Each structure stands twice: as C-alpha cells, then as structure tokens.
Chains A and B, each alone.
Chain A
Amino acid sequence: MPDHERSAEPQPPASEHAERARRAPVARETSDVTRFRGVWLASAAGALAVLAGLVGWGGWGAVASPGPLSPGHAEAGLACASCHAATPAATACQSCHAGHASRRSGHRRLQSSGELGCATCHTPHAASASLVFTPAEPARVARGHGVSELPRPAAGYGYQPTSRVFVPLVASETCRECHRGSSDRAALCLTGEYQSCFDEHRAPGEPPADRDAAWGAAQRLVQASVSAPAPGPGPEAFLGFGFVVALVVFAGVRRAGRRRAEVPALAAQLLPPTRRRLPQIDTTTCLGCYACVDACPFDVLEVQRFVAVLARPDACCGLSLCEQRCPNGSLVIREGEPLADTPHLDASLESPDVPGLFLAGDVTGLSLIRNAIEQGARVVSVLEARRRGRASAPARGTSRSEAGAYDLIVVGSGPAGLSAILEAHKAGLNAVALEQGSVAESIRSFPRHKLVLDHGGNPEARASLWLEQCQKEDLVAKWTQTARRERLPILEQHRVLGVERIERGRARFALKAHTPEGEREFYAEHVLLALGKRGSPRKLELPIPEAWRSHVHYSLVDARPFAGRRVLVLGLGDSAMEAAVALAAQPGAEVTLAARAPEFRRGKARNIETVQRLAAQGRLTLLFDASVAGFGADGVRLSVAGQTRELAVSSLFVLIGARMPWEFLEALGVRKGSAAETSAPKHARSEGA
C-alpha cells in the first residue's frame, strides 16, 4: 500500500480524540456581552449631573436665560416688560439711548440695513460689564451680579464725574465674531479682553463731549487693570463633573454585575460518612440521561435499557455527586447500616484513642482528591490554633536533627499529605513529610491522561494545589512544581516501618523509617497519617540477590527506557496489565506477563481485552499458573504449571498488589467506626494475583 508523506500540517490520529466529555460546560458571559453594560445608565447619569450642576450653580439662567439685568439698568428701574413688550426687544434701546448711532461708516451701513443693532454689541443682561464712576468714590466694575471693586485700585485716571456714570464695556470676543482672520485689519486692534481701541459712538474729529471724559477714563482703567471676569465654571467644568459622575455610576454597575455572576461555592466535606450510603433510582422517572454515570468518579452507575442501574455498589464512595447531578430527582441517596471499617476520628480528624495522631485523605474513608486536600489543610490549622493557644510556644526553626522532635511528621505525600506539609511550611511549623516513593505517587498511578474531575467547592482555597478539570499529568506536574518552589521538606524514598507511642520530652511518637541510607528514627509531637488506600506494594517472598536489586521494580513510571529490553511483569491486576501493555508498545521490547492465577479474575474489561489481543498478535507472552522460583545470572526461573522454565529477562516488575495500611492503625490503637473490638479488616485483601 503506497505511503504518503504528510505535506502540510499533520492531521491528528482519530484514535487520540478526546473521549466524550463528562461534564457539561456552563454558559459564561464573555467580555463581548458585558463590555458596554452600564453605558446608557452612566451616560444618563452624567447628562443629568451636567444639567444639575449648571442649574444648581447659576439657576436656570445659566442654561437658557441671559441672566439678571446689569446694575445700570437695574438702578434705572427697568423690568422685563420695559423692553420685551416691543418686538424685537432690541428696538427698545432707542427709547432711552437715542442718538447713539454708530459712527463708523461700515457699522452705520450695516445698521441702516438692519444687520447691526444695539444688541449685537451690548446687552442689558448679565453677560456685559461696565465701569461705574460714582462721584467721590473710586471707580468700580459693574457686572450682572452686582458691583464690585476693581482688582487693582487705580489712581489718577483723571476723571471726576458729577453724577453716576456707566461706561459699557464691549468684550473683544463680540467684535471677533465678525472681525476675524488675518486679512481683517480691525481684528488687529482687538487686543485685550475688552475693546478699548476706539469710541464707537464718536466719530473721529467730532468735538469732545462730556461723555468723552468718562470714556477716556474708562479706556485708561481698562488698559490698566480691569480684567475679564473670572469666569464661573463654564459648561466645560460641568462636563468634567458629569464625566466623573458617569464613571462612578459605570464602575458601580459593573461591580454589581460581577458580584451577581459568582457561583455559590459548595462546602467541602471534611469527615467521612458514618453510614453506608447508596444511590437509589426511581425507574419510572429516570431519563437515562447519563448525568449520574458521568458524575461518578468510580464507575458505580451504568445505564441499561435507558435506565440507570447500580452496577458496582461496592465501589460507591457515599458522597452524593450523582444525586446533585440528577436533573429530575430520580436518584436519591439512601443511608443504610453504619459503616464499621472507617477509623474512629473526631471533628478535627484526630483519633480520640491516640491523642496527637491525625488521619487525612483516603485512609479516613473519605474519597476525592479535593476533600483530601481540605483535610490535610484542616489538620494543620487545628495544630496552629492549638499552638497559638499554648502559653509557651517552642521557638521556630529549631534544629531538625534527629535528636530534636518535630512538631508534626506527615506520613505520605499524596494530596492530603502534600496539602498538610504545604500549610505547615507556610505556618512555620517544624514539620517533615516522609514518603515511601515520590511525591504524588498515588496520582501518578492513575491511567494515562485520566481526567481528574472538579467537584465544586471553593476554587480559591488551596489554589496552589488544584487545577480545574485537568489531566492527571497536569496535576502531578503542578504538585511537583509547588513542592519544588516552596522547598517543602519532603523526604522521598523514606518508607515508615512503624510508629510507636513514647514519652520523651515533647515527643509523643517515634517513627522508624527505611531510607536508602539505612534505617532512621524520627521523633514527633504530632503525627499525621496520610497513607491513602493503596498501601505499600507487596514484595516477593523470595530474597532478591544483590545483582538483581536494581532491576526489580514495584511500579512503572516511564516505559520508554525499556525499549529493546526483555521484561517480565508479575501480576494480573489492572496495574500489571497496564504496565505490560505500555511496555509492549515500546519498540523492540519483549514482554512476558506472568501470574499465579489460572485465568483473568479481576480488572477492567478494556485491559483484559487489550492484553488478549496483544498476546494473540504475538507482541506479549501470557503465562498463567506461574510464579518466580529463583533468580539466575541473566534471567529468572519460573515455575509454570509445575514445570520449571528459564526466562532470559533483564528487568522484573512485581505488581502483585498492595499491603493495606491497617497494621499501622491497629498497632497504634486506632479503633474502627464505633466498634471497640478490631475486626479483621476487609480491605487487607490485596489486588492482583
């Protein structure tokens, strides 16, 4: 069959497509939709603020009306009707100010044609200003709001009026409305705030009249000291005010919206269930929608004939995730008989029988990684609270030598242990974690790319240890990264052999651990057992010769180094089968899977099917009724169905199950459930062959 090179982007193999999702995504509001939220409200608020500011500051006059009368006209006793009775109001000026025609030819022409009127330059309302000359008093400025002193007292302007005289000032801006541009010579004269270049109503060459003195004085004063009125806040200022108000309203609306959008968090569970809890399904209303099947992390439920059924009740963890996800309440959790095989703990996860001994994680009987993290953190917070309550707190950072006693020793660095050591490190406790393998060993053994589900709860808490809906590799990487970054005191390859209760100063417990350097003793005031349910791997009954020590493995972390090698895998459980499949996938590897059992007894159907298929294809050798009889120079002696066979292998994987951690607890005196006698633990039976 002809083979073709990929010529463009590689297309992904379909077999690597993601499995069907197990969690339905919830609609989220994107920034596109919320971007302009609150803009209308904010704009309306801003506009209202501008209007309110203007009206509040200057009354309605600031917006629409021209303002109050200038003091001159007010003193003359004018009212609205005096001028506005005539139409247009501008013609009313002539009734008092007769003979004040313009003397400039250009202006006169415009005046006669009607384009220029009195009101074009002067207005009796507030906008104009005038200089007031009062006999025997200094000159003042009169504006719409009243008469005020000159900013700089002026002396010697040389005019003593005989009666009160008002000299109106025309703002240059009024002139500039027509005289603009560089080609207009009149515009060149318009320097300053007020027009003071020439007397409009006096032709050049006319003989001076009495008013000229007033005018001349005004001219000198204006040039010297009168400045334009300090403008009250014009519309621009109110715009700024309105803008600020709009921004505040906008921010307020957004913050209110953000608070509404938060999803209420579920409280984490700390104590394991005390009674056996199993789901019960009402088959008359069950839709067969797979919501409960997808929610269950342990594959307890299945859908058969479009109705959910309980397929593996033994694996049920008793937490009500399935009940929460059922859309119409067909599934409810029923409580049954009290559970007898969980350790007896109080509310702070301490054993009431053994003070100072805490348990956290799977070993307490409470499932789910998130709960384990919470439990580990909780234990440390309890210890912290106790330490604060004590009068004499031991000094921090005391020597960590063997002779000293630790505040806390954590046994195990799975989610519970890691969470505990992280919190202890942050709190400054003198603590250490003893791990028999490497950090997060239990999670590493999950199937490749297994989806770790997020089961709700407060996402803020323990953020450094949690990822939402990730693959197992991501979670392991995050934990390793956290352990390294925080320099957590985790001692790997330290397998705790036993815990004894002692009385030695502060230390209440003595732990004996097997380390690569030999055996060591640790002393601690408190001990947290975060052992999980996996326990320690079972060993071969045979003694292993020195030459084989480094070639016997109890777990498979990475199959790639075994390419091209001959490997023997002992065991027939899920971990043994998965390891054999992973090794067989390596190019050039020869894999033999041997087990004591005569046939497949347990494990996932998918694994069994894969192993059988590979065996049929010849990529894997399957041996039943086999056990290791001894070790040779370059191989292993197997006893297969009574006959001895030499198998040339370079590595041996012993995956025959685990020893459950009950011995620790029982030896220490921890009771189970509420029963005083210790019954034979059901969990001590191991998996595998």
Chain B
Amino acid sequence: MFRAPVLRGLDERGRLDVQSSGRLFELAAGEILFEPGDPSDALFVVLRGQVELWSVARGDEAASLIRVVTQDCTFGEEAVVTGLRRSARAVCAAPARVAEVPLGVLSRSLTRAGATSLFDREVRALERALTRSLLTTLSFGRYLDQADLDLLLDAVHTRSYAAGQFLQRQGDAPEHCLLLQKGLVQIQSEQAGRVRVHGYLSGGDFFGDEEILAGEALRYSVVAMGDTLCIHADAQVMRRLCDSNVGLAKRLRRLTLGRRAEPTTELSAATHQTQHVLRDAYRMQMARSLLAIDQESCVRCGHCAWACAESHSGVSRLIRSGDKIVVAEAGAFANLLLPNTCQHCEHPACMIDCPTGAIGRDAEGEVFIREQLCTGCGACAKACPWHNIQLAPRANLARAETPSVKLSALVAVKCDLCRDYEAPACVRSCPTDAIQRLDPRQEFSEVRALFQHAPVNVPVPASGTAGTARASKRARAPLALSALVVLVTLAVVGQAAPRGAFALGAGVVAGVGSLVLASHALLKRRIALWLRPREKRGLQRGDARPATGSVLSPWVRAHQALGLVTLAAALWHSGLVWPVGASGALLATILASALSGGFGALAYRWVPPRLSRLEWRGALPEELGRERRDLIDRLYRLTSGRDVLLKRVTELILGPYSRSPWASLCLLASGRDLKQERARLRRSIDERLEGRGQERLLVLDDLIKVVVDLRALPLRRGLTAALRLWQPVHAGLTLALVVLLALHVIGRLG
C-alpha cells in the first residue's frame, strides 16, 4: 500500500499511524464506495482489484468513465482540500480491497516526515481548480477570457482564518478583494465605542471591490465566525483587470448586504422570546443534526439523558442545559432548547483537530469516535466551539488493555447518533415526544433564507417531525377529559348493579390493569425492549434509518388512560363503602397512586409552557441550586464601585423587588415572561426617576436582568420540582399497590 506515490515518503512512524487509523474495505463488483456530493474526509488506496470513477460532465446526461484506478494507485484526492465534496462516483469494477486513509493523519504524518512535496502539489492543483470554478460562478468571472482568468488565478492566494480573526479591519486601506470559499463571516463596524453587527456572508460571496475602486478606507470590519477559507485577490491586479476589460467595473455587483441577518417581524412579536435563532449563525450553518427540545412539551424528566447513558455504558452524551432559541414555525413560535450535544457539523472541527484520526464520519453523516484510537488528549473537546465533547473514563479498560498496548484512562465521548442502534435513543425515549433532531438549514425558515444558495446535499441523519407532534397533543386533552367523565360515571353506576360476577369481573380488570400499570416502569427502564441494536457494515448506504419519533410517548398516553380505567374498575369492585383491613389499604393505595399519577399528568400539561417563559437558558435542577449564589455574586459585582444613584436604586427598588416573598407567585399568576417583566421593571424605575440621571445608570439593564432572574428562580425551582418529584411517590405507591394486591388475591383465594 505504501507504494502509492503520495504515501511513499512516509517514515516508519507515519506508516504505523496510517495503518492504525485507516480502515480496510472488501468490495464486491458493482458496490459503490462514494457518490458525488458526499463529504470527503479520506483518501483511498486500491490494494487489490480495480475501481472505476464515473462522473457526469457538463452538458451530458449519462455518466462517463473518468478513470480506472488499479493496484497501488490512489483516488479521492479531493479530500486534501477541506470542505470539498466528492465529484465522482466510485464503483468497484472487479472484487477489490481498498484502504481508507484519513486525511488528518496523512497530512500530519507527511509533515512530520518532511515528505509533503507531492501532497502540496496536489493541494495547489486542487485549490486552483476550485478557485477557477468559484470564479466562474461569479458574473464578472464569466466575463473574463481565459488569459485574464489565468492571470487572476496566478495572482490570488488562499488564507484560512480561525473563529474571531479579522479578515479586514475598519479603517485600514483596502488591499484585497475577497472571495469566500467556505465558512461564515460577520460584517461589523465600530461606532462610538460600540460594535454593531450588520450581516453575514458565507461561501461563494465576493466583496471588497467597491472600496478598491473608490480608493477610500474600509468602513467596516469582517470577522470569521468559524473556520473560514478566503481567497485574496490583490488590489492592483483587480484594478489592472478593470482597466483592460471595459465594462467589467459595471459587472462587479456586490451581493453582500442582500443577505443581512434581519429577523422577520413576526419573530419580534413572539412572546417569551429568548434568543433569536441567528444569534449563533455559525452553529446554524454547521449543524447537520441539531438536537432540539421543545420547551413547551418537555417535562424535564431527563429520560433522554438516562437513555443515552444506558445505551452508552453509563456515560450520557446529552446534558439538558444550554442555549434556548425561538423559531417561527407554521404560524406559531417554538421555544427550543439546544442542549450540549454533538450536532454532527458539516466541517467538524473535532475531526480536523484529532491527532490520531480517531474521529471519522460515516456515509450517513454521523461523526463518531473510535475508542481504540483515542488517546484522551482532549484536542477535539477544546476544538468544539460549543463544548459538546467531554472526556470520560474508558469503558472496558481492564479488558481492552494488554501489556504491549497501553490505553489511556480517559477517552473523548460525544453523541454518535446511536449508530449501533436502529434510532437515536434520546428521540425514542421521550415520554412527550418533545425531542427531535433536525437540520437547521431545512427546518428553520430564517436560516434557510440566510443560506439559500448553499447546496444541501449532505446526507442528513435527521429524525423526528417538527409540527405534527404538537398538533396531536392538543387533540388529546378533551379526549382525556371525556374518558375520565365516562369512567367515573361507570364506576358510580356500578354500585347499582347486582353483585357477583360483575364485581368480580371489575376486580379482575382492576387487578390486571394494576399489574400492567406497574409494568410501565419496567418498560421504561428496559432499553432493550424498544431500542434494538443493528448490524452496521462499514459502507452502509441506501438503507438510511427512517425518521422516527418517540416510542414511549404512545405508551405513556396508554398508561394514563389505563390508569383511569383501573381506578374506575377498582371503585366498581369495592363499592362506595370503604372496606376495612387489607382491602381498605389496597383501595387507599389505588386511590393515592391514581391521584399522584393524575397530578403528574396535569403537571405535564400545565407546567412546561409556564416554566419555559421564565427561563433564559435551559438548566438542570442541580444547577438551579447554585444559580442563586451566582446571581447574588453578579449583583454585587455590578453594583460595586458604581455611581451612588445606581446603588440607591438598587437599595430602594431592586432589592425589595428581588426579596419580596410572594413575588414569584405574582409572576406566575401574571403570566408575563422574562422580557415583559424586565420591561415592566424598567418602566417603573423610569417613572420614579422621571427620566433623570440616565447617564449614570448605564448598567441598570444588566442589574434588572439579574434581579428578575432572582425573582423567577424560586418559581423555576418549584415548578421543576413539581414536574419531577411526584414520580418516585407514584412509583412507590404503585409498588405498594402490587404487593397489597398480591396479598388481597391470596387472601381471597385461600
């Protein structure tokens, strides 16, 4: 394998690295290795057999054979330029053995060995071809003839930028025209000390020509929001081109601010607005499978995180805290929580930074970590801009370690979309169908508008449907109520019926129903019952997993309905006179269990919308405990060393506001959300001050935020407790019910 030209320069260590991080595939004739448009992360070397590359040339209809790859030759070189997609289809001609070499490992090993000349030449050639194709998409590029185009291609150079770096700064003299190859940049300007955001540009956008031709200083700065690749064309070259091509200047149309990130007006009118979906536009661009939890259906039970941990040897890759965004969706607004979990980026920073090539990407788009290659260095965790990767103790350390191979105690873990199972465990386990994985560029209209010209052809491992779940939930409420009414009536009517068979029958129904109700716990906690593993071949294509919703939520609804039925049957069986002794205890337990269950069901419906109004970010219950101290610390820090007026306002208005005992309940009853509450407080302060002293109260808005959060905090804790604490009570009572039922039955039979 190492006879291939690109790999020839590898030294001993390089070969070891490539061998351990690569994968071998055995292909039968006719099997497809990759399709055009697939993400390209690896180079392929044919070890045995033949592979054909087919592609559709422009103007043709059918694919034509481009190249036949034989033994010891490489193919898939477009991977050397990050972000480039496959341009051809690789089909196996004769039974072949193919080795996949991840690009990250290859480039590192070649650099260490000092043998990058071939590699660099490949990179340069590909970049030139890419720039040429990019230029021809621009209108002025099509206008240029070949000689001028070649001149331009020779004069440009590519630079990459990390997040936060400036491509150009306000006030500098214009030196380049910039053409973005990939990435997202933000246009901002600094006015009177404050930085203002004007819009975004992404791959394929071209700017800078107007300033060059006008010759004045730049009026705005351009900052990279993530890894960005940008092609710089020198100003002199551009001017010469314009001079030699009459009419070119007119054709230089800029399309920058046509795509500014302007939120639609309907979103501004949304209630309990948290953050706008474009607050982190880079995240929206990158994410291919963003986990979103609908905060108005989520009952904060944490079953998703538990299911994730259960299916991944005890380490959960999902932590239910993170930013919240609001999106417009079919006339309604959804408050979505984006928890800290991998979103399977289009250009995964973790994969690029991994030194051993342990992070790879599936044909289905899932980014996964191979634990046997992971050394626990943490580079991926530091690279992820949203901290979605963590380090955890390695599972099966004792078993996997041998005297010759020393494995690290820690490995990086992250969501892998449950690639070993038939569907993501989190989605399947949600009792209210609140969690889903979606592609922001398809599901969110604002994001779609921002990136409308970008191709969306990466296989998206999405699952779950957005809107239908909510509609079905709304229909359930009157149904449940009517069922309750019917059943209670039946129970009461049952008293008039003659005793004997009917009562006994009702008793049997109640008994069986109780057992089925109790088994719900078993159902919820035995993952193997609803999450089946699947066999995954290395090149699984075509049988992408279908979108699925939650498996548990219909069972939860059935559980609630069955609970009502069982309660009615038990009442029918025992009659309205309270039995004594063990039977009385049994009836009491049934009633208590049903009451707690009913409380839970009501809480599930009533609490989440109110809770989501009071939260700015999603937080776990243990974090809520710490939050009070943090808020008070922040309050202290904001007021220390400030103007006397501010301290007076804090002392007289904000302090009592945050400490008032019934305040939280008032907030709950009023139905205001955080934004409205802040505005109300600000208005009341302004009224008291009658507009004086505004310049001395610059941090008042931050203070108001802290104080309103302080007031909402006990409410959040109480509501979260209401959602979670009834479950152990209910489970305990049902267990007691089962034991008592057994005793009752045994006593009756004996």
Residues of A within 8 A of B (CB): 1-4, 6-17, 19-33, 35-36, 39, 43, 46-47, 50, 63-66, 173, 176, 178, 180-181, 231, 234-236, 239, 242-243, 246, 284-285, 287-291, 294, 305-307, 325, 327-328, 474, 477-478, 480-481, 585-587, 613, 617, 619
Contacts and interface: CB of A to CB of B under 8 A. Distances in A.
Given A1-B220, A234-B581, A328-B375, A24 B390 contact: yes
B637 A477 contact: yes
23 contacts: A4-B260, A4-B262, A9-B273, A10-B197, A13-B186, A13-B188, A15-B164, A24-B391, A25-B389, A30-B319, A31-B302, A31-B620, A32-B320, A35-B724, A36-B728, A287-B356, A289-B379, A294-B382, A305-B112, A327-B375, A474-B637, A481-B636, A587-B192
Nearest to B108: A306
B608 to A, nearest CB: 16
Contacts of A30: 302, 305, 316, 319-320, 620, 622
Contacts, number: 230
A9 B302 contact: no
B48 interface: no
Contact of A24 (B164, B381, B633): B381
Interface in B448-475: none
A565 to B, nearest CB: 15
B377 A287 contact: yes
Interface string B271-292: 0010110110110000000000
**Chain B residues touching A, range:** 35 or more
Interface stretch (B165-173, B243-251, B528-536): B165-173
Contacts of B171: 617, 619
B128 interface: no
A39 B728 CA distance: 9
A619 B306 CA distance: 57
**What are the 6 A-B residue pairs with the smallest beta carbon separation, nearest first?**
A32-B302, A24-B378, A24-B381, A289-B377, A32-B305, A27-B392
B688 interface: no
Contacts of B303: 32
Contacts of A29: 316
Nearest to A242: B739
A15 B223 contact: yes
B592 interface: no
Interface centre among A21, A289, A307 (most CB of B within 10 A): A289
Contacts of A31: 302, 620-622
Interface string B429-458: 000000000000000000000000000000
B320 A480 contact: no
A144 to B, nearest CB: 14
Interface string B72-83: 000000000000
A380 to B, nearest CB: 26
A496 to B, nearest CB: 26
Contacts of B412: 24
Nearest to A585: B193
B736 interface: yes
Nearest to A172: B580
A284 B622 contact: no
B691 interface: no
B73 to A, nearest CB: 27
Nearest to A307: B112
B640 interface: yes
A136 B417 CA distance: 88
Contacts of B232: none
Interface in B214-252: 219-221, 223-225
Given A481-B636, A585-B193, A27 B391 contact: yes
Interface in B624-651: 633, 636-637, 640
Contacts of B735: 43, 46-47
B69 interface: no
Nearest to B355: A287
Contacts of B304: 32
Given A9-B276, A239-B585, A180 B377 contact: no
Nearest to A329: B406
Nearest to B17: A287
Given A24-B381, A26-B392, A287-B355, A2 B257 contact: yes
A471 to B, nearest CB: 11
A613 B171 CA distance: 10
B225 A64 contact: no
Given A13-B186, A21-B381, 13 more contacts: A1-B198, A9-B279, A14-B164, A14-B197, A14-B282, A16-B195, A26-B392, A31-B302, A46-B735, A243-B732, A290-B353, A477-B636, A481-B640
B326 to A, nearest CB: 9
Contacts of B198: 1, 3-4
Nearest to A305: B111
Query: Which of the listed residues A11, A66, A327 has the most CB atoms from chain B within 10 Å of its own CB?
Result: A11
Given A9-B273, A24-B381, A178-B499, A63 B746 contact: yes
A172 B731 CA distance: 35
B89 to A, nearest CB: 33
Contact of A306 (B112, B282, B301): B112
Contact of B306 (A32, A46, A239): A32
Nearest to A240: B736
B111 A306 contact: yes
A167 B40 CA distance: 95
Contacts of B724: 35
Contacts of B13: 284-285
B302 A17 contact: no
Interface centre among B412, B582, B736 (most CB of A within 10 A): B736
A39 B224 CA distance: 50
Nearest to A291: B377
A202 B273 CA distance: 82
B315 interface: yes
A235 B582 contact: yes
